[in-house]
């Protein structure tokens, strides 16, 4: 997936690039960017020596982009569902009252959701250092 953006900030070896909402987003609205017609800020290595306000082409590997989406959205969703379903059925099996079961299942689902976000956030630097999920600046547009 190749996107066009404008360099808004230059740091030591990286740049922050403002990318307009893609036409592929359409009227999806599944994320904040799509709902509010926002732009996206992407960080990339400054291999081409881009300067502030340069227009650039950046490449996002579609497969890695989808994998990152699965990690950052799928794991928390799975944690929420498992955190609700497992205690719910286990406690019902042991004869707890319905109100207690629902309360405990809800709280455990939210706790597992929070834990999954904390674990993902703690591994963020590992993902960043891996390089697999990084955007690559491929050309400065005149």
97-130 per-position pLDDT tens digit: 989 999 999 999 999 999 999 999 998 888 777 7
| Residues 23-78 pLDDT 10s | 555 555 555 554 555 678 888 888 888 899 999 988 877 787 788 888 889 999 99
The span from the CA of 50 to the CA of 88, in Å, is 54
Pair of tokens at residue 26? 């359409």
The span from the CA of 61 to the CA of 4, in Å, is 14
Report long-range pairs for 107-115 (Cβ below 8 Å, ≥24 apart).
Answer: 108/83, 108/84, 109/80, 109/81, 109/83, 109/84, 110/80, 110/83, 111/83, 112/79, 112/80, 112/82, 112/83, 113/76, 113/79, 113/80, 113/83, 115/79
């Amino acid at each position: 997936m190749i996107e066009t953006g404008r360099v808004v900030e230059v740091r030591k070896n990286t740049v922050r690039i403002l990318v307009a909402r893609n036409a592929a987003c359409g009227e999806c609205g599944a994320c904040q960017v799509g709902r509010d017609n926002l732009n996206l800020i992407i960080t990339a290595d400054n291999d081409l020596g881009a300067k502030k306000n340069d227009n650039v082409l950046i490449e996002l590997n579609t497969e890695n982009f989808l994998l990152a989406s699965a990690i950052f959205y799928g794991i928390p969703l799975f944690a929420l569902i498992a955190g609700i379903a497992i205690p719910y059925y286990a406690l019902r099996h042991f004869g707890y009252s319905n109100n207690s079961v629902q309360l405990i299942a809800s709280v455990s689902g939210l706790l597992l959701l929070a834990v999954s976000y904390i674990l993902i956030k703690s591994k963020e630097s590992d993902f960043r250092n891996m390089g697999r999920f990084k955007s690559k600046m491929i050309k400065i547009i005149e």
